[in-house]
Structure 1
Amino acid sequence: MCSNKFLLRLALGVSLGLSQGITYAADYVDVLDQPARVSALAINSPLSGMTRAGERVITVGQRGHILYSDDAGKHWQQAAVPVSADLTAVNFPTTTQGWAVGNDGVVLHSSDAGVTWSKQLDGRQIGALLVKHYEALASAEPGNEQWPLLVAEGQRLAEQGADKPLLDVWFADEKTGYVVGVFNLILRTEDGGQSWTPFQDRTENPQAFHLNAIASTGDALYIAGEQGLLLKWDDNSQRFAAVPTPYQGSFFGVLGKPGEVLVYGLRGNALRSTDGGQNWTALNTGLHVSLTAGLIDAKGNYRLFTQGGQMLVSQGTGEQLHLVQQPAPTPVAGATQSADGALVVAGSRGARTLSVEPALDAVLKN
């Protein structure tokens, strides 16, 4: 038989546990409402996106960390960020105006070259945004069966809560831009992010594959996704039309110049087209590790980076890629070139600077 003392201890233990649970619940703050913590170690934490804002290098990553450097990555300062959600990508169409996106559907904006940021949108709003937009279209076109399906999709997203990762962001200028993410999530703004229009009905993506990256080649706008999905903006139809590709694995990025586009992704696969995506050539990377970041450097060379830290470089066009050995390779998720020509990369071990190889010309000639 239980003693009275044991029962008293049990009751006290239950009471204490309940009170602690209430305390923990009271202390909980959603990452969308919790500012990023300032830390001297932030630059060594996992980072996933990188870009330039004028001469400034900016990188984003886990727990809402955004850092910027004005000396080609030698020294970094941490920005003031109103959320601690993980961030995935960043884009600056001008030297001062920029946007960053990440998990929980968060969209951040900076008007001071990345020093401070404000939240424009998050995943708690996106579902209702879709419902309102597509209900209006359903009311205007009651016979269109597409609209009720998209209304239902918005309702489902609203019920799920904030968990809607955005994977990339691209702006043409300080007004017009897109954010893209999982399960065909895509929004467009024409007023600098003050309002957003769902674009799920403007993509030829019936299986709702993830949209991993969006980028312009100067004469075309592309979206790269999973399972070989590649979309290209068509002015005539005002849609992102599907572009057939010979590879059915996921693409993680797209790069290009007027008249040329490269897409890259899983297991070292990279494709090149010089006719707007009508025909593709598979590039020989010599690698079987995923290509996860890329840039076009100041000389017009393509540079692709892998999750293993390798770097591939082309000379001028992307017709041939050459492996350039790195002394201490680390995973790369984002990359840019600083104003003085240094290569700055971000990845799971933070940010670091690579020298532009003096022997590169010799490598490319071989």
Structure 2
Amino acid sequence: MSISKWVLLAALAAALCAPFCRPVAAQGFVDVLDTPAQMSPLAQHGLLVGVTRAGERLVAVGQRGHILYSDNGGERWQQASVPVSSDLVAVHFPSASQGWAVGHDGVVLHSSDGGVTWERQFDGRQVGPAMLRHYQPLAQRAPDDERLATLVGEAQRMTEEGADKPFLDVWFENERVGYIVGAFNLIFRTEDGGRTWTPWMEHTDNPSALNLYAIRPVGDELYIVGEQGLLLKLNHATGRFEARPTPYSGSFFGILGKPGVALVYGLRGNVYRSMDGGENWSQVQTGLPVSITAGTELADGRLALFSQAGHLLVSSDGGSSFQLQPQPAMAPVAGAQSAGAKGLVLVGTRGVRQLPVQ
């Protein structure tokens, strides 16, 4: 299995911490799913992995359940109240008030106040049982369906193993309909704002159960990318995420674009572009040997990509080409979000920072 961008960045964070961090004495086990995130003035300087907009507010998520929000374009940050201390990797707000965050231990958090306070809606202890409730009746009605039988077996295994499977991305179409995706083809859908989550594994063309790293729309099309060059596109008529061939067999970490232009990016500086709804892809030269781990659209409509090392690439022609932009200092980037006239807000191994963009 290929490693995710979170693992790449966590390894970097550990390397940075090693000379300064000391081991602590062993203590009794406390489940991170039952332990609220600690409030810390240093939270904005720790490992943060995802950042998004909630209306005019910015919201960032990261290790140990840390969630931060800013109402002034990233100049000052406040820490949110979070009921878990699991590492969080992705966040999305379909509106200014309603948002969801996901991460390790299968955790799904919901906020109804723009990211100030959060509640746990779902976690890894519920994943296996939810799958069993969904797939056992389907398998009983279709005893010759090998895939349903396999999914029942997976549900039983996940129930026994407990909360160790991460969700790696979240996206909501509106305040009620949304998706969460993660390791080993984990995908759930909700139609009631996350009060209930329905397994959707049988809706994906992913027989090898490859990891799903990102889910995002481009125009009216909804894509999922993952390891080994996996690219899935939702067929709205059939309700299936259908596989689309790509010319690359390495992991894709993200999706970026605008109506008529889709970009996928991932390991070793690889970026591919489609102009026909994901049917055909051509490589975009980046000139970088390191992984592309984040992307966003700038306030003026240009597209920006960031590398694991912190390189900034900007396109003024809809992703046909990218130019490397000089920076006074670089740091690994896991997520990026436009802050309007104030440029960009970046998150990564060194926490959150602002970056002016020319």
TM-score past 0.5 threshold: yes
Matches within 5 A, 1:139-158: 139-158=140-159
Q: What is the aligned partner in structure 1 of residue 50 from structure 2?
A: 49
Q: Kindly provide the CA deviation profile for residues 158-201 of structure 1, in whole angstroms up to 9, marking residues without a partner as x.
A: 11110011110000100001000001011000100000110111
2:105·2:164 contact (CA, 8 Å) conserved in 1? yes
Matches within 5 A, 1:296-307: 296-307=297-308
1:43·1:351 contact (CA, 8 Å) conserved in 2? yes
Q: What is the aligned partner in structure 2 of residue 197 from structure 1?
A: 198
Task: Pick which of 96-105 and 276-285 moved more.
Answer: 276-285
SS at 2:208 equivalent = coil
Q: Distance in 2 between matches of 1:161 and 1:305?
A: 35
Q: What is the aligned partner in structure 2 of residue 319 from structure 1?
A: 320
Residue identity opposite 2:149 in structure 1:
P
Shift of 1:339: 4.0
SS at 1:263 equivalent = strand
Q: Distance in 1 between matches of 2:168 and 2:148?
A: 25
2:49·2:89 contact (CA, 8 Å) conserved in 1? yes
Q: Distance in 1 between matches of 2:342 and 2:74?
A: 11
Matches within 5 A, 1:1-366: 24-25=27-28, 28-357=29-358
Residue identity opposite 2:273 in structure 1:
R
1:250·1:266 contact (CA, 8 Å) conserved in 2? yes
Q: Distance in 2 between matches of 1:250 and 1:321?
A: 20
SS at 1:264 equivalent = strand
Larger radius of gyration: 1
Shift of 1:24: 4.2
Q: What is the aligned partner in structure 1 of residue 3 from structure 2?
A: none
Q: Kindly provide the CA deviation profile for residues 27-67 of structure 1, in whole angstroms up to 9, marking residues without a partner as x.
A: x3200000000000000000000000111111000000000
Residue identity opposite 1:87 in structure 2:
L
Residue identity opposite 2:100 in structure 1:
W
Q: Kindly provide the CA deviation profile for residues 219-251 of structure 1, in whole angstroms up to 9, marking residues without a partner as x.
A: 200001001000000122210000100011100
Residue identity opposite 1:291 in structure 2:
I
Shift of 1:83: 0.1
Q: Distance in 1 between matches of 2:180 and 2:297?
A: 22
Shift of 1:304: 0.2
SS at 1:188 equivalent = strand
Shift of 1:283: 0.4
Q: Distance in 1 between matches of 2:79 and 2:294?
A: 23
Q: Distance in 2 between matches of 1:196 and 1:136?
A: 17
Shift of 1:341: 4.0
Q: What is the aligned partner in structure 2 of residue 16 from structure 1?
A: none
1:56·1:338 contact (CA, 8 Å) conserved in 2? no
SS at 2:64 equivalent = helix
SS at 1:207 equivalent = coil
Q: Distance in 1 between matches of 2:245 and 2:349?
A: 32
1:103·1:163 contact (CA, 8 Å) conserved in 2? yes
1:55·1:339 contact (CA, 8 Å) conserved in 2? no
Q: Distance in 2 between matches of 1:40 and 1:279?
A: 48
2:331·2:348 contact (CA, 8 Å) conserved in 1? yes
Q: Distance in 2 between matches of 1:341 and 1:195?
A: 38
- Structure 2 spans left out of the alignment, 5+ residues: 1-24
Shift of 1:316: 4.1
Q: Kindly provide the CA deviation profile for residues 93-122 of structure 1, in whole angstroms up to 9, marking residues without a partner as x.
A: 101100000000000000000000000000
Q: Distance in 2 between matches of 1:315 and 1:24?
A: 53
